[in-house]
Every structure is written in structure tokens, then in C-alpha cells.
Structure 1
Amino acid sequence: CNGLVLQPHCRFDEIDPATARYDLILATGGAGLQGAPWEPEFYEWLRRVCSASRRYGSICNGAFVLAHAGLLEERTVTTHWHAAAALAELCPTTHVEPDRIFVRDDNLYTSAGVTAGIDLSLYLVAQDHGREIGLQVAKRLVVFTQRSGGQSQFSPYLTPLSEPASTVTMVQKYVQAHLAENLSVSVLANVANLSVRNFTRVFTREAKMAPAGFVESARVDAARALLESSGAPLKRIADRCGFKDTHNMRQAFKRRFGVTPQQYRANFSTADSTNITHDTGPPI
């Protein structure tokens, strides 16, 4: 829509793999990549060039190009969530993580959907030229830089809910609007006007997770948004998002991200560090 045209300069067989040395090779995504492999000569060329280059990787389902070349064996990767199962089936020895924005495995970099390629690109820019340059590029593109490869592709606020008029959607919206309140299964069942047993069964079937799991996901997602964008004390964030205390929030973050709220803030906060207020009392 902006007039940009991507035009290849040459065919792969016009580049001598014996002398080709690149800083980065990326296989882009597109229609048809999950179909039959292309000519064997291309994949042989790709294997040689990638092995001689500093880094290589893929955007979206471009991972299938690398897979057909045998470049994903025994590696950890990601791709668009819709293609993750097919990639895992194609590459039994590959560990496919469907719920990641991007994954780095040594010199192999793979990203999820097309917009996740922006996250990966900003990561690579920051890796090569420093965080400050990465921030400047992000500002120029009017995008955020705080998403990391370790973060989920989804959140309760971004993932499509159930059918708009369904009882489960009503409950999900209630959860998101009342995070600091009691959100036990009995309370949610009452909101849905169902018995606890029937509500749990219906919610799990439609939302693909148990009610308690959704509640924790919503609270964690709200907490990480506050950690990224504000300097509020951890106790205040825990209270506002419905955690019993900072220890309970810490446990939830460790389960879902493998880091503490403090570590998450240190890595992904866009707030001025001089304005971050720390709680008094023992460390959490």
C-alpha cells in the first residue's frame, strides 16, 4: 500500500555458495510454503550458505523453507501458531514452541507471525548496534520494543474470546473488568448463572483452558502491562491486578515466564527508571 516493491536481484544458482558469506539470511513466509519441497539443488545451496554465514532464520512459515533444507533438526524454533503442528510433524526432532514471539537457538532465529518479524528485527538491531539504536528504530516505526522472544504470542486481551454473545465471553469480560475482586469459580459460575460443575465444563470446552487458568492469565497480563509502562510499586500492582500479595504475583510470573516481576520490569520497562518506586520491606 506504500508503493514498496520487493524485487530479487538474482536467482540462488547465480550465487556461488563457496564464496557467499552473509551476516543474516532470512526465509520469509508466504503462501504455499507448507506444500511440496522445491528442487533439491536449492536446499543444498541453502544449507551451504547458512552454514557459512553468521546467522540465519525465518519469519512466520518461512520456517518450512529451513525445515526442508534440514536446518531445523535438533533445534528449538517457533513459527505462526497456525502452522506449528504441521512443522512439528514435518520435523520430529525439532522442538517447536507455538506460543513464542521469536526464538533464538544459537545462530538460528525464528519468529512467529509477520508482525513478530518486527520484534525479531528490533532484537537483532539492538543486538548488533545497542539498545539505544534499537529504541530509535522502534520510535521511527512507531512500534514497541518491550516484547521479547520469551513472551507469549497471545494474551487474554488479544486472543479472540468465544462467540461474542456467549456466556463464556460474558464471564471473560467480567474477569477483565474485576481483576482485583474475588474471581473464584463459584463467583464466576454465579455470573454465568450456571452450577459450578456445569460452568467449569462449558468454560473449559469453549475457552480451551480452566477458569482459574484464565483468571491467572488475565491478572498476569495486566500486571506485566503495568510493569512495562509504569513505575508503580510491586505491591500496588499486585493489589490492583488481584494477586493476594507480591509473593503470589512472583509465583505466577515464574510459572508463566520463568522470571520474577522485578526481572521482567528490568528487561521490558519503558518507564523512566528514575521514576520507579520500590516497595519497602523484604525482597520478594
Structure 2
Amino acid sequence: MSDQAEKLRKKLKTIESTPAKTIAVVSGKGGVGKSNITVNTAFSLVQKGYKVLIFDFDIGMGNINVLLGTDTKYTISDYIEKNIPFNEIIFPGPNNISYISAGNGFSEVLELDNIFVQRLLEELEELQYQYDFILFDMGAGATNANLQILFSVDDIFVVTTPEPTSITDAYSMMKYIVLKSKENNLFLICNRSEREKEGILTLNRLQTVMKNFMNKDIYSLGILPEDSHVRKAVIRQVPFYTEFPSSSVSVKLEKIVQNYLGKKQYAISSTQSNPFIRKLRSFFER
């Protein structure tokens, strides 16, 4: 009887609540500052009163806990391999941030039995009603381990730098996403730009080629400058947004977050719908 009551309580909660906005932060290659942008975007959202969870999906190379200056007892791998309860792999970070650390073995999740898959989906579904935003820090490139999440989230932040190789890789990543799923909203961020004009040219170039060759409109969120405060914050294992709030990179990040929140795509159409879980479940059931 108690189990039925608990299921009913959860059902009523999902009807009355709005699911979290889900965002995947990706890059075509490593080393462009993707994880740093994920962490500092989360802190900007928390400062605005939102409840935020960072889910580190850079399996085997996750560094969210390092950037936060914290450590965790369990990771997502422990949840999979040792059957650790899901709520025990969610850890508190500074300023009321919550996060889940990456771990080895998550690439095997799609090969596991249906019982485990259903358990994971139920956990993620309930998790969505505990937060306003869930930010997935994805591994660099497109791998089988993260595609289901990538194609199911509401929005995707694509991080590039002005370097030609980074631009090419960002285009390849976006092209791959669009070919697989045209529904995702793609948002561009240019990081580590020495000059504003350089960043603008980078974003314009990517927007143009995606429109011309893929017939896909890409939203430009903004440019983050090369700033020594970022390195200082990483060394101190603190977010630059809170440690150096007046720095040029923090000011620009704030504009990026404001730009995102101002987009029409931010609004969730129905409080009773949950497109993230619906799409994720359809991928698992294929």
C-alpha cells in the first residue's frame, strides 16, 4: 500500500510541476573550455535563484569536481556497477550547486538489461522535478555513450574557439547532430577569443555554413575573451564567475546566460509534458 501511495505522490508531483530545462554542453574537440563554461553557467543560474544540477558525462575524464574544488565518494559508475542508490551519487557543491561525477563504465549502459534501463529512466524522470536546470557536461566528440542524452535534451550549447581546427570540429559536431536530429536547438559560444572581432567572425562563419549547407538556424549566445582570471580560478579550484565577478570573462558570461534566458526557446510549452524523458525513452526502446 505504501508503494502505491509513493507512486501516486510522484505522479501528482509531475503533473503539478514543470520539469527541469535540460542542456547539453558539447564541443567538437577537447581543450576548448567546455567544462569551465558548464560550471560557471551553472553558478550564474544559481545566482538568479534557479536550482541547478551538473551531470558530468565526460566519462573517464570528468573534471567537474576538480573545477569545484570538491570530491565525491561515488560516481555514476558506482550507480551502474555497485547498485549505489541514485540519490547517493548526487553531491552538494559550493553555492547550493548539486553535481554528479563521471566515472568509468557508463559506456556499457546501453548494453545492460531492460530492468536497469527502466531504473535509470525513472531516476532521471524524478530528478527533473527536483531542479530547474540540469546541465550535462558531455565528453568531447560524438560517442555512442552519450548520444541518447545529446539527442534528448532541450538545448545544446556548442563551444568553439577561433582556432581553425576548433571551428572545423564544431561544424562537424553540429552537422552530425542535425543529420541525426533536427529538433534540437543549437546555441553557439566562442571561447578564448583574443579580440571581439575574431569571435564575431567565428560565430558568423559557423552560422553561415550551417544555414547554407544544413538549412539549420544556429543561435549565437556570445563570446568569452581570453582572460587570465580563468587560469587563476582553475588553479584555485573555484568558478571564475564567483571568484572574479568583475573580470571581463565573468561579465561576458553573464551576458551569455541572459541571452539564453531571453530566447523564446527557453519556455517549456506544457507543465505536463516531459520531452527529455519521452525522447530518451524512445532511444532506449529502439
Question: Which has the larger strand fraction?
Answer: 2
| Structure 2 length-normalised TM | 0.27
**Which is higher, the Rg of structure 1 or of structure 2?**
1
Please give the TM-score of this superposition, normalised by the length of structure 1. Answer: 0.27
Q: Larger RCO: Structure 1 or Structure 2 (Cα < 8 Å, ≥ 6 residues apart)?
A: 2
